[in-house]
Amino acid sequence: MCGIVGIIGQRDAAPLLLDALKRLEYRGYDSAGLATVDAQGAMSRRRSAGKLRNLERRVETEPLVGGTGIGHTRWATHGAPNEANAHPHVAAPVAVVHNGIIENFRALRDRLAKSGATLTSETDSETIAHLMAQRLAAGEDVKTALLGTIGALEGAYALAFAFEGQPQLLAAARSGSPLAIGFGDDGVMIGSDAIALAPFCDKIIYLDDGDVAILTPTRVDIFDQSGTPVERPAVAVPVQISLAEKGNYRHFMAKEIHEQPEVIARTIGHYLDIGAATMRSDAVPIDFADYRRVSLTACGTAYYSGLVARHWFEHLARLPVDLDVASEFRYRAQNFPRDELSMFVSQSGETADTLASLRACRAAGQTIATIVNVPTSTMARETDIMLPTLAGPEIGVASTKAFTCQLATLAAVAIKAGLDRGTLDEASAREKIEALIEAPRLVADALHVEPQIERIAKIVAPARSALFIGRGPAYGIALEGALKLKELSYIHAEGYAAGELKHGPIALVDDSVPVVVVAPYDDLFAKTVSNMEEVAARGARIILITDARGADAAGEAAEETLVMPDAPSFIHPLVMTVPLQLLAYHAAITNGTDVDQPRNLAKSVTVE
Ligand code: F6R
């Protein structure tokens, strides 16, 4: 999603803004821009389509002066990703950058056009600059104009403003989309997240929904929607965040895949007493005996972790799980039974649909538990019970380590549910806990298949289409494998429940379609192998992902067999995910796509 930065400092703002924008590149974007105000109050703007290097070149040939400025990376929603639609948008004396969507923008554009404003872009964001400029022209001060402007907006926004003629002033506002203010040696800064601000600031303040802020070099005044001054706590920038570097890896994604043993161990250590092989009593402050159902809601990869977890809750705790993608959940006619726990899963903690679903459950009086990777995120702050994944900052747009940490967390929570509900006795719980403790080691072993996967990726990379199949917990993993391949390498890929193939998708199968079969040696193995035989009989090129026992029992249908370490079946989903991540990664490298920032994608999806 769009990235926002702003600074009031002593040095030229443009290089600092570009640096901070680079740290936001991971969010995904397709154009970028800057506006600065010099000491005399003159404002200048540079924008360009495409990557930040285009903007950098532009600024090299047409330098920007001034210590105050705002910058933006745009992920297009309204209008093509071209220069005219890039931010900042200017309606003198106002320049604005915006993350989010203004839902009533058509009505606003019509109103502005009638009042004589000339809009030069197709965006919803430009309306904000004009609304603000009209209020200032009418004699309102910046604070009053800002409150009036946001009062006219419907939708989600994080906003930063600079003002021609006011070299020492920035303003900001937030509703729905996150925004932080930082303090450092270079001045006062605004940023979409702590990652943008980390190298420049040691302390940051997160604005609350509805807040507006007026920034000068010496002070930051924050007001709530009604204009009442409010204090928001300053928090230290987490050290981890400043360490968000690629290290020796070519891509963040490769680093994050290889970090998995460590971050899974860290996450498990939060929930389990590893030495005693028991649950930590205070880590999951939920008594599942109080609930008869769980509703689990998330988007994308996080949703697939829920698909796997549904098996765990149902098998270990006999707890029915109502699972849905958040964009559907929020518009369903919900019953919100009192004995249902509402659970959400999100890496960023900012995904608009998941957040809206969480708020719907909150409004209905449900108890809310959220599995979240960013502890300072909106969901982390709005949940009743925060269940952290300790994956550390995930920079690659495609989720990898956050997913396996979500699985590890959900596995621990499901064991706790089984214990609470008396469906899992101490001995069986211990067996599951011991299996989970093995996960980091087995995931590390799984990474050893990388050289073989590099070769297999050459089979997959030229394909126009690929199928991924699995059963039981491996079904969710097959869907995740297909999502990873399509988002990274732009190969059309579908994940199916293995048993569903003959109900339609098998019509797609011929010798040009690789079929990736995820089949650990478990109770459903023989069923999945039968489905594999069916597609093999139609000429498909089979890539079988299994373990040693599975490889022995699978017959000859597979062209390639990836033998993963033998693992207790409870943690198969964690182990089986690794080769699928690596396959997508190497197929993307072979196809020459942008691994860390695939086209059209955004890291933190803060719009509906
Ligand atoms: C895919 C991916 C997305 C996210 C989804 C939810 O690789 O990363 O599908 O999983 O956008 O994001 P979070 O987990 O931040 O709510």
Q: What is the pLDDT of residue 244?
A: 63
Centre of ligand 1 to C-alpha 103, Å, is: 23
Q: Please report the domains of the chain, with CATH numbers, ordered by start residue.
A: 3-243 (3.60.20.10), 250-424 (3.40.50.10490), 444-593 (3.40.50.10490)
Amino acid making up residue 257: I
Measured CA angle at 406 (ends 400, 407), to 5 deg:
95
Of 359, 349, 443, 353, whose CA–CA distance to 388 is shortest?
A: 349
**Helix, strand, coil percent content, the chain, rounded in steps of 5:** 40, 25, 35
Q: Which of 75, 347, 585 is the pocket-test mutation for ligand 1 (most atoms within 8 Å of CB)?
A: 347
The predicted pLDDT at position 523 comes to: 94
Minimum CA distance residue for ligand 1 atom 16: 346
351 lines ligand 1 (CB under 6 A): yes
Closest CA to 390 of 379, 376, 406: 406
Å from CA of 387 to ligand 1 middle: 17
Note the pLDDT of residue 367. 97
Tell me the catalytic residues. 2, 603
| Ligand 1 binding pocket includes 175 (Cβ within 6 Å) | no
Residues 178/377, Cβ–Cβ less than 8 Å: yes
Backbone angles phi, psi at 246, to 5 degrees: -80, -15
Peptide bond preceding 88 in cis form (omega within 30 of 0)? yes
- The per-residue DSSP string of 347-382 comes to SSS--HHHHHHHHHHHHTT--EEEEES-TTSHHHHH
- CA quadruple 364, 370, 372, 375: dihedral, nearest 10: 80
Q: Residue 150: CB partners within 8 Å, gap ≥ 6?
A: 157, 159, 173, 175, 212, 225
Q: Which two tokens stand for residue 379?
A: 């969901």
Rg of the chain over CA atoms, in angstroms? 25
* Distance separating alpha carbons of residues 339 and 332, to the nearest angstrom: 19
Look at residue 89 in the predicted model and tell me its pLDDT: 98
Handedness of CA 304, 349, 312, 322 (dihedral sign): negative
Residue whose Cα lies nearest atom 3 of ligand 1: it is: 300
Q: Find the angle CA(421)-CA(427)-CA(429) to the nearest 5 degrees.
A: 50
Q: Does the C-beta of 383 come closer than 6 Å to ligand 1? A: no
Mutate to test the pocket of ligand 1, among 348, 371, 399 (most ligand atoms within 8 A of CB): 399
pLDDT of 242: 53
Atom of ligand 1 nearest to the CA of 351: 16
Distance (Å, whole) CA 137 – CA 142: 11
User: Which residues touch 448 (CB under 8 Å, ≥6 apart)?
Assistant: none
Q: Indicate which residue's Cα is closest to atom 8 of ligand 1.
A: 399
User: What's the gap in Å between 203 CA and the centre of ligand 1?
Assistant: 28
Q: Helix 426-446 to helix 401-421 angle, to the nearest 10 degrees?
A: 170
What spacing in Å lies between the alpha carbon of 370 and ligand 1's midpoint?
15
Question: In the 3-class helix/strand/coil scheme, how is 145-212 assigned residue by residue?
Answer: HHHHHHHCCCEEEEEEEEECCCCCCEEEEEEECCCEEEEECCEEEEECCHHHHCCCEEEEEECCCCCE
Dig out the tokens for 192 from the structure.
Answer: 């979409």
Ligand 1 close to Cβ of residue 487 (< 6 A):
yes
How close is the Cα of 377 to the center of ligand 1, in Å?
14
Q: What would the two tokens of residue 544 be? A: 């079988």
Pocket lining: 398 vs ligand 1, CB cutoff 6 Å? yes
N-to-C CA span, the chain = 11
pTM of the model: 0.82
- Please name which of 477, 443, 405 lies closest in space to residue 565, comparing C-alpha atoms: 443
Q: Rounded to the nearest whole angstrom, what is the distance from the C-alpha of residue 300 to the centroid of ligand 1?
A: 5
**Residues 504 and 531 sit within 8 Å (Cβ to Cβ):** no
Identify the pLDDT of residue 239: 63
CB count within 10 Å of CB 349 equals: 26
Query: CB of 348 closer than 6 A to ligand 1?
Result: yes
Query: For the chain, how many helices (H) and strands (E)?
Result: 20, 26
Neighbours of 185 (CB within 10 A): 9
Regions of the chain with pLDDT less than 70: 239-245
354 lines ligand 1 (CB under 6 A): yes
Strand-pair category, 155-163 with 170-175: antiparallel
